[in-house]
Structure 1
């Protein structure tokens, strides 16, 4: 697995989680680093940033690869059709909010399966009571936390 990160704590977490290559996207050329590590390109390029770089994805993807985009709904980009179709690749948009109840059940079951076996590990940054939900939103939006916030009912 190849990941990009410029945040020291996130980089360390990725390393501890078994990333094969960590690229600092602020100080390194992402495409060059990927090509050095995987000359044929990557099979899956997953971009969960608010500003996906389609050109970077198309440069990094292998023949018949898949690009997954999870950008904000307001993001606009330009698709370079030539590299897209000559690589015979696919681009998928993904949002959980459009999933059916059956799909959500399947996803939850798969995630539970992998969490139970230690393959997936979540990074918890903070635990707060539900009464502090507004504060949790502010902290999450600040970008200052590394990991997820867990809100719990007061009685737990």
Structure 2
């Protein structure tokens, strides 16, 4: 299995769950995060900025990837299709702001591969609650923990949005309600 963005919250959870299920996981991350991603269960961690990343990914899984999950939003669908194993699945869940995506249909169907979309915003509240309970149960006894970048009082919501829009926030910004917020 390939996980792009293995050091992020979603990517780290995917690495952990997949490795716990017995999958051999190859992930991408920054070099300074590689040890942590290996600790979560990745067999190999590659630098996503490497100019020969495609070749490294091919060497890491010569038969291709049965599941390709890019949580980083940096990957290209066309490149992902070329990395799939016969019968592999490409999970599209990021990159909406990148414009039209090219999808090499011929290379996809001649591999008997498939593409599956996933958008959390399509889930009903009850489904989200059930999924959260399942995820907490599945991840509770693992080394994975969400990365919290900062905690801010609710009154600083505008600042949180500005920081997210500017980029560079590594982890989640948690908004809190309490004495610091004047309540």
Decide whether aligned partners of structure 1 residues 141 and 32 sit closer, same or farther in structure 2, where only a CA change above 3 A counts.
same
User: How much does 1:51 deviate?
Assistant: 4.9
Which of these residues, 62, 76, 80, is aligned with residue 39 of structure 1?
62
Decide whether aligned partners of structure 1 residues 66 and 101 sit closer, same or farther in structure 2, where only a CA change above 3 A counts.
same
Contact 1:35 1:41 in 2 (8 A): yes
Decide whether aligned partners of structure 1 residues 46 and 89 sit closer, same or farther in structure 2, where only a CA change above 3 A counts.
same
Structure 1: distance between partners of 2:41 and 2:169? 21
Structure 1: distance between partners of 2:48 and 2:75? 13
Decide whether aligned partners of structure 1 residues 65 and 35 sit closer, same or farther in structure 2, where only a CA change above 3 A counts.
same
Name the SS for the 2:56 alignment partner.
helix
1:68 match = 91
1:116 match = 140
Which of these residues, 27, 30, 33, is aligned with residue 53 of structure 2?
30
| TM-score (normalised: structure 1) | 0.85
Structure 1: distance between partners of 2:39 and 2:81? 28
Unaligned runs of 5+ in 2: 1-24
Map 1:74-153 to 2 at 5 A.
74=97, 75-118=99-142, 120-153=144-177
* Greater mean alpha carbon deviation, residues 83-92 or residues 23-32: 23-32
* Greater mean alpha carbon deviation, residues 89-98 or residues 29-38: 29-38
Name the SS for the 2:96 alignment partner.
coil
Q: How many residues align?
A: 155
Structure 2: distance between partners of 1:142 and 1:17? 29
Which structure ranks higher in relative contact order (CA pairs < 8 Å, sequence separation ≥ 6)?
2
Unaligned runs of 5+ in 1: none
Q: Which runs of 4+ in 1 moved over 6 A?
A: none
Contact 1:130 1:153 in 2 (8 A): yes
Name the SS for the 1:78 alignment partner.
coil
Decide whether aligned partners of structure 1 residues 36 and 26 sit closer, same or farther in structure 2, where only a CA change above 3 A counts.
same
